[in-house]
């Protein structure tokens, strides 16, 4: 009568693998609007499995039909997230065991805590005063090697003078974007993929590039407009509003965790 409560080793392995998959899907969607949809779908699937286990045939059949018919709609809704996930897999170096294990590490929530966010924002604030254009990409979980190869690899610990000198108009490194990982500038003069999204005329190529990389990956972007001196913060292909630089620092620190 309660055969469904009898667990074998394979059942335990099945549950663990599903839990891992759900964890990484949650990490992928965390901080986006799609997370609410994901939670709703997870609850429907959980109800479906419970009704199956309790042999409630009519309700489980109805939920099963709903899930199967909604599969295509789910793919449409989660299209940006699916694209990010596939891009992450495609850009992961599976031949590098250390890099691959780091990509899958459950402890990655603490990997960015050493980043000197305050120096980054203060440098942007000073560049905004002089209307010095800048585009800074903060790498998170998704590997950005596919764009790092378009520029120059670096290994420079970040600080305010270094950031300002890179984007100084006469600097040989000022064109393009820089990528920061943990607390180091790992690439300069990067060419980013451009977004095809319709943008107001006042936004230039820097804004389109910042939106493009954050649409395709989970990276964060901070940019300073050369025309207006305005500082923008972009996440998941969208502009994030902030009241002042202190709030921006706290927002970035939160998003990096």
Residue 127 and residue 48 in one domain: no
CA 136 to chain centroid, in Å, comes to: 14
User: What pLDDT does 114 receive?
Assistant: 80
Least confidently predicted of 52-61, 221-230, 242-251: 52-61
The domain of 206 spans 110-256
Residue 160 and residue 52 in one domain: no
Quick check: is 85 in a domain? no
Residue 71 and residue 116 in one domain: no
Residue 50 and residue 119 in one domain: no
State which of 77, 100, 127 marks the end of a domain.
77
* C-alpha to C-alpha distance for 244 and 251, rounded to whole angstroms: 11
Quick check: is 59 in a domain? yes
Residue 166 and residue 220 in one domain: yes
Residue 125 and residue 70 in one domain: no
Phi, psi (rounded to 5 degrees) for 206: -60, -45
Count of positions (residues) in the chain: 257
Phi, psi (rounded to 5 degrees) for 24: -70, -30
Residue 28 and residue 149 in one domain: no
Residue 128 and residue 237 in one domain: yes
| HSE-CB for 215 with a 13 A CA cutoff | 16
Least confidently predicted of 32-36, 55-59, 60-64, 189-193: 32-36
Neighbouring residues of 218: CB distance < 8 A, sequence distance ≥ 6: 28, 84, 140, 141, 142, 236
Q: Are 184 and 155 in contact (CB under 8 A)?
A: yes
CATH label of the domain that carries residue 207: 3.40.1700.10
Residue 145 and residue 223 in one domain: yes
What average pLDDT does the segment 156-185 reach?
92
Helix axes 79-91, 205-216, angle to 10 degrees: 80
Residue 119 and residue 245 in one domain: yes
* C-alpha to C-alpha distance for 61 and 181, rounded to whole angstroms: 48
Quick check: is 147 in a domain? yes
Residue 29 and residue 127 in one domain: no
Quick check: is 51 in a domain? yes
Phi, psi (rounded to 5 degrees) for 168: -60, 135
Mean pLDDT of the chain: 80
| HSE-CB for 185 with a 13 A CA cutoff | 26
User: Tens digits of per-residue pLDDT, 68-108?
Assistant: 766 676 667 666 666 666 666 555 554 454 444 444 444 44
Identity of the highest mean pLDDT range in 60-74, 82-96, 170-184:
170-184
91 burial class (0-12, 13-18, 19+ CB within 10 angstroms)?
A: middle
Tell me the pLDDT band of 234, cut-offs 50, 70 and 90.
Answer: very high
Instruction: Identify the residue whose tokens are 């009898």.
Output: 6
Domains identified in the chain, total number: 2
Neighbouring residues of 138: CB distance < 8 A, sequence distance ≥ 6: 112, 115, 120, 179, 180, 219, 220, 221, 222, 252, 256
Helix axes 9-29, 34-53, angle to 10 degrees: 160
């Amino acid at each position: 009568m309660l055969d469904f409560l009898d667990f074998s080793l394979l059942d335990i392995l099945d549950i663990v693998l599903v839990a891992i998959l759900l964890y990484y899907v949650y990490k992928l969607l965390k901080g986006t609007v799609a997370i609410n949809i994901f939670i709703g779908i997870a609850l429907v699937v959980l109800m479906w499995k419970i009704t199956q286990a309790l042999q409630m045939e009519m309700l489980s059949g109805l939920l099963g039909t709903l899930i199967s018919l909604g599969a295509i709609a789910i793919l449409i809704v989660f299209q940006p997230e699916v694209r990010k996930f596939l891009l992450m897999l495609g850009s992961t170096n599976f031949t590098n065991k250390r890099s691959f294990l780091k990509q899958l590490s459950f402890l990655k929530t603490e990997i960015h805590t050493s980043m000197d966010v305050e120096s980054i924002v203060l440098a942007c604030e000073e560049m905004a005063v002089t209307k010095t254009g800048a585009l800074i990409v903060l790498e998170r979980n998704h590997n950005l090697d596919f764009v790092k190869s378009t520029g120059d690899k670096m290994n420079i610990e970040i600080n305010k003078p270094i950031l300002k000198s890179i984007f100084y108009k006469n600097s040989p490194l000022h064109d393009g974007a820089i990528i920061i990982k943990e607390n180091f500038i790992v690439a300069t003069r990067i060419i980013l993929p451009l977004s095809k999204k319709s943008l107001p005329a006042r936004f230039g190529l820097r804004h389109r590039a910042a939106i493009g990389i954050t649409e395709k990956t989970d990276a964060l972007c901070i940019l300073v407009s050369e025309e207006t001196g305005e500082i923008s913060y972009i996440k998941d292909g969208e502009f994030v509003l902030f009241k002042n630089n202190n709030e921006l620092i706290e927002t970035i620190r939160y998003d990096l965790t």
